[in-house]
Chains A and B, each alone.
Chain A
Amino acid sequence: MFLVIGYFIGGTFPPSNFTGAAKESNVVIQQQPQQVQQQTVKFQIPSFAPSKGSDSAQFNIVEFGDYQCPFCEKFFQQVEPHIKQDYIDTGKVKFYFLDFQFLGPDSETLGQGAWCANDQGKYYDYHDYVYSHQGQENSGWATPDKVKTLAANILELDLQKFNSCLDSKKYETLVQQLTGLGKKLGVSGTPVVFIGNDQKGYISVVGAQPYDVFKQVIDKQMS
Protein backbone atom coordinates (compact mmCIF):
# COMPACT_ATOMS: atom_id res chain seq x y z
CA MET A 1 0.00 0.00 0.00
CA PHE A 2 2.85 2.35 0.86
CA LEU A 3 4.34 1.62 -2.51
CA VAL A 4 1.14 2.34 -4.37
CA ILE A 5 0.60 5.64 -2.57
CA GLY A 6 4.25 6.60 -3.01
CA TYR A 7 4.07 5.85 -6.72
CA PHE A 8 1.17 8.20 -7.17
CA ILE A 9 2.73 11.13 -5.34
CA GLY A 10 6.30 10.80 -6.49
CA GLY A 11 5.91 12.78 -9.67
CA THR A 12 6.43 9.89 -12.05
CA PHE A 13 2.82 10.05 -13.04
CA PRO A 14 1.38 13.33 -14.19
CA PRO A 15 -1.65 14.63 -12.32
CA SER A 16 -5.08 13.46 -13.42
CA ASN A 17 -5.86 16.72 -15.16
CA PHE A 18 -2.65 16.47 -17.17
CA THR A 19 -4.31 15.48 -20.44
CA GLY A 20 -6.21 18.73 -20.58
CA ALA A 21 -3.16 20.72 -19.72
CA ALA A 22 -1.12 18.84 -22.29
CA LYS A 23 -3.47 19.83 -25.07
CA GLU A 24 -3.08 23.48 -24.16
CA SER A 25 0.71 23.49 -24.00
CA ASN A 26 1.71 20.80 -26.50
CA VAL A 27 3.19 18.72 -23.72
CA VAL A 28 3.33 15.07 -24.80
CA ILE A 29 3.95 12.01 -22.65
CA GLN A 30 5.50 8.93 -24.19
CA GLN A 31 6.10 5.52 -22.72
CA GLN A 32 9.18 3.50 -23.49
CA PRO A 33 8.93 -0.28 -23.93
CA GLN A 34 11.16 -1.27 -21.01
CA GLN A 35 10.99 -3.73 -18.18
CA VAL A 36 10.18 -0.86 -15.86
CA GLN A 37 8.29 1.75 -17.81
CA GLN A 38 9.91 5.12 -17.84
CA GLN A 39 7.92 8.08 -19.00
CA THR A 40 9.29 10.82 -21.12
CA VAL A 41 7.76 14.24 -21.48
CA LYS A 42 8.10 16.48 -24.50
CA PHE A 43 8.01 20.22 -24.07
CA GLN A 44 9.57 23.37 -25.38
CA ILE A 45 11.92 25.29 -23.11
CA PRO A 46 10.83 28.96 -23.20
CA SER A 47 13.08 30.71 -25.71
CA PHE A 48 13.76 33.58 -23.32
CA ALA A 49 15.10 31.30 -20.56
CA PRO A 50 18.76 31.94 -19.81
CA SER A 51 21.09 28.95 -19.80
CA LYS A 52 24.52 27.87 -18.65
CA GLY A 53 26.71 26.08 -21.18
CA SER A 54 27.43 25.89 -24.88
CA ASP A 55 24.72 26.78 -27.40
CA SER A 56 25.81 23.80 -29.50
CA ALA A 57 25.07 21.31 -26.68
CA GLN A 58 22.77 18.52 -27.85
CA PHE A 59 21.05 17.92 -24.52
CA ASN A 60 19.40 20.03 -21.87
CA ILE A 61 19.03 19.79 -18.12
CA VAL A 62 16.04 21.80 -16.93
CA GLU A 63 15.62 22.27 -13.20
CA PHE A 64 12.33 23.47 -11.76
CA GLY A 65 13.21 24.91 -8.38
CA ASP A 66 12.16 27.16 -5.54
CA TYR A 67 14.75 29.53 -4.10
CA GLN A 68 13.60 28.72 -0.55
CA CYS A 69 13.60 24.93 -0.91
CA PRO A 70 16.42 23.30 1.09
CA PHE A 71 16.55 20.33 -1.28
CA CYS A 72 17.15 22.69 -4.23
CA GLU A 73 19.97 24.18 -2.20
CA LYS A 74 21.34 20.68 -1.64
CA PHE A 75 21.09 19.99 -5.38
CA PHE A 76 22.93 23.26 -6.05
CA GLN A 77 25.69 22.52 -3.53
CA GLN A 78 26.22 18.81 -4.08
CA VAL A 79 25.06 17.87 -7.57
CA GLU A 80 25.30 20.94 -9.81
CA PRO A 81 29.11 21.29 -9.47
CA HIS A 82 29.57 17.72 -10.77
CA ILE A 83 27.12 18.28 -13.63
CA LYS A 84 28.94 21.50 -14.49
CA GLN A 85 32.32 19.82 -14.51
CA ASP A 86 31.32 16.69 -16.43
CA TYR A 87 28.67 17.93 -18.83
CA ILE A 88 28.25 21.71 -18.98
CA ASP A 89 31.92 22.73 -19.16
CA THR A 90 32.58 19.97 -21.68
CA GLY A 91 29.89 21.35 -24.00
CA LYS A 92 27.63 18.30 -23.76
CA VAL A 93 24.61 19.87 -22.07
CA LYS A 94 22.97 23.20 -21.40
CA PHE A 95 21.55 23.88 -17.95
CA TYR A 96 18.35 25.83 -17.35
CA PHE A 97 16.84 26.89 -14.05
CA LEU A 98 13.12 27.66 -14.25
CA ASP A 99 10.89 29.00 -11.50
CA PHE A 100 8.59 26.76 -9.52
CA GLN A 101 8.15 29.25 -6.70
CA PHE A 102 5.47 27.68 -4.52
CA LEU A 103 6.69 27.90 -0.93
CA GLY A 104 5.22 31.33 -0.25
CA PRO A 105 5.37 35.02 -1.19
CA ASP A 106 9.09 35.25 -0.38
CA SER A 107 9.79 32.55 -2.95
CA GLU A 108 7.93 34.59 -5.55
CA THR A 109 9.93 37.69 -4.63
CA LEU A 110 13.17 35.72 -5.01
CA GLY A 111 11.98 34.43 -8.38
CA GLN A 112 11.16 37.94 -9.58
CA GLY A 113 14.58 39.09 -8.39
CA ALA A 114 16.23 36.52 -10.68
CA TRP A 115 14.50 38.01 -13.72
CA CYS A 116 15.38 41.54 -12.61
CA ALA A 117 19.01 40.38 -12.41
CA ASN A 118 18.58 38.81 -15.85
CA ASP A 119 17.79 42.27 -17.24
CA GLN A 120 21.44 42.98 -16.51
CA GLY A 121 22.71 39.58 -17.67
CA LYS A 122 23.14 38.36 -14.08
CA TYR A 123 20.51 35.61 -13.85
CA TYR A 124 22.90 32.85 -12.83
CA ASP A 125 25.07 35.13 -10.67
CA TYR A 126 21.91 35.87 -8.71
CA HIS A 127 20.83 32.19 -8.73
CA ASP A 128 24.22 31.03 -7.42
CA TYR A 129 24.42 33.78 -4.80
CA VAL A 130 20.91 33.15 -3.43
CA TYR A 131 21.46 29.40 -3.12
CA SER A 132 24.82 30.00 -1.45
CA HIS A 133 23.15 32.22 1.14
CA GLN A 134 19.77 30.53 1.56
CA GLY A 135 17.87 31.03 4.82
CA GLN A 136 15.17 28.94 6.44
CA GLU A 137 11.83 28.69 4.62
CA ASN A 138 9.55 31.68 5.20
CA SER A 139 11.63 32.95 8.11
CA GLY A 140 11.76 36.47 6.69
CA TRP A 141 15.18 36.23 5.02
CA ALA A 142 13.73 36.93 1.58
CA THR A 143 11.35 39.85 1.99
CA PRO A 144 11.68 42.44 -0.82
CA ASP A 145 14.02 44.55 1.35
CA LYS A 146 16.18 41.56 2.23
CA VAL A 147 16.35 40.49 -1.43
CA LYS A 148 17.63 43.96 -2.31
CA THR A 149 20.30 43.60 0.37
CA LEU A 150 21.27 40.19 -1.02
CA ALA A 151 21.44 41.58 -4.54
CA ALA A 152 23.81 44.32 -3.35
CA ASN A 153 26.48 41.63 -3.01
CA ILE A 154 26.29 40.55 -6.64
CA LEU A 155 29.26 41.88 -8.51
CA GLU A 156 28.59 44.63 -11.08
CA LEU A 157 24.83 44.58 -10.57
CA ASP A 158 23.27 48.03 -10.89
CA LEU A 159 21.36 48.04 -7.62
CA GLN A 160 19.23 51.05 -8.45
CA LYS A 161 17.89 49.37 -11.59
CA PHE A 162 17.43 46.09 -9.74
CA ASN A 163 15.51 47.70 -6.87
CA SER A 164 13.26 49.62 -9.17
CA CYS A 165 12.53 46.47 -11.19
CA LEU A 166 11.73 44.47 -8.05
CA ASP A 167 9.44 47.22 -6.73
CA SER A 168 7.57 47.38 -10.03
CA LYS A 169 6.75 43.62 -9.82
CA LYS A 170 7.12 43.51 -13.60
CA TYR A 171 8.05 39.81 -13.51
CA GLU A 172 5.32 38.68 -11.13
CA THR A 173 3.25 37.16 -13.94
CA LEU A 174 6.25 35.52 -15.59
CA VAL A 175 7.21 33.71 -12.37
CA GLN A 176 3.61 32.52 -11.99
CA GLN A 177 3.50 31.38 -15.62
CA LEU A 178 6.71 29.36 -15.26
CA THR A 179 5.35 27.77 -12.09
CA GLY A 180 2.21 26.98 -14.12
CA LEU A 181 4.36 25.36 -16.82
CA GLY A 182 5.95 23.17 -14.18
CA LYS A 183 2.52 22.11 -12.94
CA LYS A 184 1.51 21.17 -16.49
CA LEU A 185 4.59 18.96 -16.68
CA GLY A 186 3.56 17.16 -13.50
CA VAL A 187 5.90 18.97 -11.10
CA SER A 188 4.46 18.93 -7.58
CA GLY A 189 7.57 19.63 -5.53
CA THR A 190 11.13 20.83 -5.98
CA PRO A 191 13.66 20.20 -7.31
CA VAL A 192 12.47 18.30 -10.35
CA VAL A 193 15.09 17.99 -13.06
CA PHE A 194 14.18 17.17 -16.67
CA ILE A 195 16.97 15.64 -18.75
CA GLY A 196 16.83 15.22 -22.51
CA ASN A 197 16.09 17.23 -25.63
CA ASP A 198 13.23 18.07 -27.98
CA GLN A 199 13.71 14.93 -30.09
CA LYS A 200 14.10 12.32 -27.38
CA GLY A 201 11.89 13.96 -24.82
CA TYR A 202 12.76 14.46 -21.19
CA ILE A 203 13.10 12.04 -18.28
CA SER A 204 12.45 13.60 -14.87
CA VAL A 205 14.35 13.03 -11.66
CA VAL A 206 12.52 14.11 -8.52
CA GLY A 207 14.45 15.44 -5.55
CA ALA A 208 18.00 16.04 -4.47
CA GLN A 209 19.19 12.60 -5.46
CA PRO A 210 22.81 11.42 -5.53
CA TYR A 211 24.86 12.65 -8.49
CA ASP A 212 25.14 9.10 -9.85
CA VAL A 213 21.37 9.02 -10.47
CA PHE A 214 21.57 12.15 -12.62
CA LYS A 215 24.70 10.84 -14.37
CA GLN A 216 22.99 7.58 -15.28
CA VAL A 217 19.94 9.38 -16.69
CA ILE A 218 22.10 11.84 -18.67
CA ASP A 219 24.24 9.02 -20.07
CA LYS A 220 21.15 6.99 -20.95
CA GLN A 221 19.65 9.94 -22.80
CA MET A 222 22.91 10.56 -24.64
CA SER A 223 23.35 6.93 -25.68
Chain B
Amino acid sequence: MSVIMMKNALQSVFRKPTYVISSILISSFMFFIFILANNFSTFVTVLGLNSSAKLLVEVITNGAANILYASGAALFSSIIAVSILSGITISMIIYQLRITRSSVGKKNLAGFGGIFGGAFSSACSACSTTLASVFGVAGGLAIFPLKGLEISLPSIGILFASMYFISKSLMESGRCKI
Protein backbone atom coordinates (compact mmCIF):
# COMPACT_ATOMS: atom_id res chain seq x y z
CA MET B 1 0.00 0.00 0.00
CA SER B 2 2.69 2.48 1.06
CA VAL B 3 4.87 1.35 -1.86
CA ILE B 4 2.04 2.11 -4.30
CA MET B 5 1.49 5.47 -2.60
CA MET B 6 5.18 6.38 -2.91
CA LYS B 7 5.24 5.20 -6.51
CA ASN B 8 2.24 7.40 -7.35
CA ALA B 9 3.75 10.38 -5.57
CA LEU B 10 7.08 9.93 -7.37
CA GLN B 11 5.27 9.64 -10.71
CA SER B 12 3.41 12.88 -9.97
CA VAL B 13 6.61 14.72 -9.12
CA PHE B 14 8.87 13.37 -11.84
CA ARG B 15 6.30 13.60 -14.62
CA LYS B 16 7.72 17.07 -15.17
CA PRO B 17 11.28 17.05 -16.61
CA THR B 18 12.14 20.09 -14.48
CA TYR B 19 12.02 17.95 -11.35
CA VAL B 20 14.05 15.16 -12.94
CA ILE B 21 16.73 17.68 -13.88
CA SER B 22 16.63 19.40 -10.49
CA SER B 23 16.88 16.02 -8.78
CA ILE B 24 19.98 15.07 -10.81
CA LEU B 25 21.57 18.46 -10.17
CA ILE B 26 20.84 18.40 -6.44
CA SER B 27 22.14 14.81 -6.15
CA SER B 28 25.38 15.74 -7.90
CA PHE B 29 25.69 18.88 -5.78
CA MET B 30 25.14 16.91 -2.54
CA PHE B 31 27.83 14.40 -3.50
CA PHE B 32 30.18 17.29 -4.28
CA ILE B 33 29.40 18.90 -0.91
CA PHE B 34 30.00 15.63 0.98
CA ILE B 35 33.45 15.33 -0.56
CA LEU B 36 34.26 19.03 -0.29
CA ALA B 37 33.26 19.27 3.37
CA ASN B 38 35.76 16.55 4.26
CA ASN B 39 38.59 17.91 2.09
CA PHE B 40 38.02 21.59 2.65
CA SER B 41 41.46 22.53 3.94
CA THR B 42 43.13 21.15 0.83
CA PHE B 43 40.58 22.92 -1.32
CA VAL B 44 41.49 26.20 0.40
CA THR B 45 45.21 25.49 -0.02
CA VAL B 46 44.74 24.89 -3.75
CA LEU B 47 42.61 28.04 -4.07
CA GLY B 48 45.41 29.97 -2.38
CA LEU B 49 47.82 28.80 -5.07
CA ASN B 50 45.65 30.42 -7.76
CA SER B 51 45.77 27.09 -9.56
CA SER B 52 43.70 25.97 -12.51
CA ALA B 53 40.14 24.75 -12.08
CA LYS B 54 41.41 21.38 -13.26
CA LEU B 55 43.38 20.95 -10.04
CA LEU B 56 40.32 21.81 -7.93
CA VAL B 57 38.35 19.17 -9.82
CA GLU B 58 41.22 16.76 -9.28
CA VAL B 59 41.06 17.33 -5.50
CA ILE B 60 37.34 16.48 -5.50
CA THR B 61 37.67 13.39 -7.71
CA ASN B 62 40.63 12.26 -5.61
CA GLY B 63 38.50 12.73 -2.48
CA ALA B 64 35.84 10.47 -3.97
CA ALA B 65 38.44 7.91 -5.05
CA ASN B 66 39.89 7.93 -1.53
CA ILE B 67 36.56 6.80 -0.04
CA LEU B 68 36.60 3.82 -2.36
CA TYR B 69 40.30 3.21 -1.68
CA ALA B 70 40.23 3.28 2.11
CA SER B 71 36.63 2.55 3.10
CA GLY B 72 35.49 0.22 0.35
CA ALA B 73 32.72 -0.08 -2.20
CA ALA B 74 29.96 -0.47 0.42
CA LEU B 75 30.51 2.97 1.99
CA PHE B 76 31.11 4.56 -1.41
CA SER B 77 27.81 3.12 -2.71
CA SER B 78 25.95 4.19 0.42
CA ILE B 79 27.20 7.79 0.05
CA ILE B 80 26.05 7.80 -3.58
CA ALA B 81 22.68 6.43 -2.39
CA VAL B 82 22.39 9.22 0.22
CA SER B 83 23.22 11.80 -2.47
CA ILE B 84 20.58 10.44 -4.88
CA LEU B 85 17.93 10.14 -2.16
CA SER B 86 18.76 13.67 -1.00
CA GLY B 87 18.18 14.94 -4.53
CA ILE B 88 14.84 13.14 -4.79
CA THR B 89 13.70 14.24 -1.32
CA ILE B 90 14.58 17.90 -1.87
CA SER B 91 12.86 17.87 -5.30
CA MET B 92 9.76 16.38 -3.70
CA ILE B 93 9.79 19.07 -1.01
CA ILE B 94 10.09 21.77 -3.71
CA TYR B 95 7.19 20.15 -5.63
CA GLN B 96 5.09 20.01 -2.48
CA LEU B 97 5.75 23.67 -1.71
CA ARG B 98 5.01 24.81 -5.27
CA ILE B 99 2.03 22.64 -6.13
CA THR B 100 0.13 22.15 -2.92
CA ARG B 101 1.25 25.43 -1.29
CA SER B 102 1.28 23.52 1.95
CA SER B 103 3.92 24.08 4.56
CA VAL B 104 6.72 21.59 5.04
CA GLY B 105 6.04 19.52 8.14
CA LYS B 106 8.56 18.41 10.72
CA LYS B 107 8.39 14.82 9.46
CA ASN B 108 9.22 15.97 5.96
CA LEU B 109 12.20 17.89 7.21
CA ALA B 110 13.56 14.72 8.83
CA GLY B 111 15.23 14.09 5.48
CA PHE B 112 17.76 16.78 6.28
CA GLY B 113 18.92 14.60 9.17
CA GLY B 114 19.71 11.95 6.59
CA ILE B 115 21.65 14.46 4.52
CA PHE B 116 23.76 15.37 7.54
CA GLY B 117 24.41 11.67 8.08
CA GLY B 118 25.74 11.42 4.55
CA ALA B 119 28.17 14.23 5.21
CA PHE B 120 29.38 12.70 8.45
CA SER B 121 29.95 9.28 6.95
CA SER B 122 31.99 10.65 4.05
CA ALA B 123 35.68 10.03 4.47
CA CYS B 124 38.45 12.54 4.07
CA SER B 125 41.71 11.91 2.25
CA ALA B 126 43.46 11.56 5.59
CA CYS B 127 43.05 9.25 8.56
CA SER B 128 40.89 10.83 11.24
CA THR B 129 40.18 14.30 9.86
CA THR B 130 36.60 13.56 8.84
CA LEU B 131 33.62 15.73 9.62
CA ALA B 132 32.83 13.23 12.39
CA SER B 133 35.97 14.34 14.26
CA VAL B 134 34.64 17.82 14.88
CA PHE B 135 32.03 16.42 17.24
CA GLY B 136 34.58 14.74 19.41
CA VAL B 137 34.78 11.44 17.56
CA ALA B 138 38.53 11.15 18.04
CA GLY B 139 39.96 9.03 15.27
CA GLY B 140 37.12 9.94 12.94
CA LEU B 141 35.60 7.07 11.04
CA ALA B 142 38.55 4.83 11.96
CA ILE B 143 36.89 3.97 15.25
CA PHE B 144 33.81 2.55 13.52
CA PRO B 145 34.19 -1.13 12.65
CA LEU B 146 32.19 -0.61 9.45
CA LYS B 147 34.16 2.57 8.57
CA GLY B 148 31.12 4.87 8.55
CA LEU B 149 28.37 2.55 7.27
CA GLU B 150 27.01 2.81 10.82
CA ILE B 151 26.05 6.40 9.98
CA SER B 152 25.25 6.20 6.27
CA LEU B 153 22.81 3.27 6.47
CA PRO B 154 20.53 4.95 9.06
CA SER B 155 20.75 8.08 6.88
CA ILE B 156 19.34 6.11 3.96
CA GLY B 157 16.54 4.91 6.25
CA ILE B 158 15.77 8.45 7.39
CA LEU B 159 15.65 9.70 3.79
CA PHE B 160 13.27 6.87 2.80
CA ALA B 161 11.07 7.72 5.80
CA SER B 162 11.08 11.36 4.77
CA MET B 163 10.11 10.39 1.19
CA TYR B 164 7.28 8.28 2.62
CA PHE B 165 5.86 11.16 4.67
CA ILE B 166 6.15 13.60 1.76
CA SER B 167 4.40 11.07 -0.52
CA LYS B 168 1.65 10.60 2.04
CA SER B 169 1.20 14.32 2.39
CA LEU B 170 1.13 14.78 -1.39
CA MET B 171 -1.44 12.03 -1.91
CA GLU B 172 -3.64 13.28 0.92
CA SER B 173 -3.56 16.81 -0.40
CA GLY B 174 -4.94 15.53 -3.72
CA ARG B 175 -8.23 14.30 -2.28
CA CYS B 176 -11.04 15.72 -0.16
CA LYS B 177 -10.97 14.87 3.50
CA ILE B 178 -14.16 13.66 5.15
Contact = CB atoms under 8 A, between A and B. Distances in A.
A12 B41 contact: yes
Given A9-B131, A213-B46, A2 B33 contact: yes
B152 interface: no
B45 A189 contact: no
A88 interface: no
Contact of B42 (A35, A70, A102, A205): A205
Interface in B126-155: 126-131, 133-134, 139-140, 142
A103 B127 CA distance: 9
A36 B47 contact: yes
20 contacts: A6-B36, A9-B133, A10-B44, A10-B124, A11-B126, A11-B129, A34-B48, A35-B50, A38-B49, A70-B70, A188-B128, A188-B133, A189-B126, A189-B127, A206-B39, A206-B129, A207-B66, A207-B129, A209-B125, A217-B49
A108 interface: no
A5 B37 contact: yes
A97 to B, nearest CB: 15
A2 B37 contact: yes
Contact of B45 (A9, A69, A103, A213): A213
A188 B127 CA distance: 9
Interface of B: 33, 36-42, 44-51, 55, 58-59, 62, 66, 69-70, 119, 124-131, 133-134, 139-140, 142
B127 A6 contact: no
B126 A207 contact: yes
A181 interface: no
Contact of B39 (A10, A36, A70): A10
Closest 10 CB pairs of A and B: A10-B41, A207-B125, A6-B40, A189-B129, A189-B128, A38-B48, A207-B126, A12-B41, A69-B127, A6-B37
A36 B131 contact: no
A52 interface: no
Nearest to A32: B48
Query: For this complex, into which size category does the number of interface residues on chain A fall?
Result: 35 or more
Q: Is the interface of B mostly helix, strand, loop or mixed?
A: helix
Given A206-B42, A207-B124, A216-B55, A9 B129 contact: yes
B69 to A, nearest CB: 6
Contacts of A110: none
B128 A102 contact: yes
A72 interface: yes
B48 A189 contact: no
A208 interface: yes
A209 B50 CA distance: 17
Contacts of B47: 35-36
B127 A72 contact: yes
Interface in A1-53: 2-3, 5-12, 32, 34-38
A204 B48 CA distance: 12
B45 A205 contact: yes
B142 A137 contact: yes
B45 A12 contact: yes
Contacts of B134: 5, 8-9
A74 B51 contact: no
B66 A74 contact: yes
B66 A103 contact: no
B104 to A, nearest CB: 18
A192 B126 CA distance: 8
Given A71-B125, A210-B59, A7 B70 contact: no
A99 B130 CA distance: 20
B122 to A, nearest CB: 10
A6 B38 contact: yes
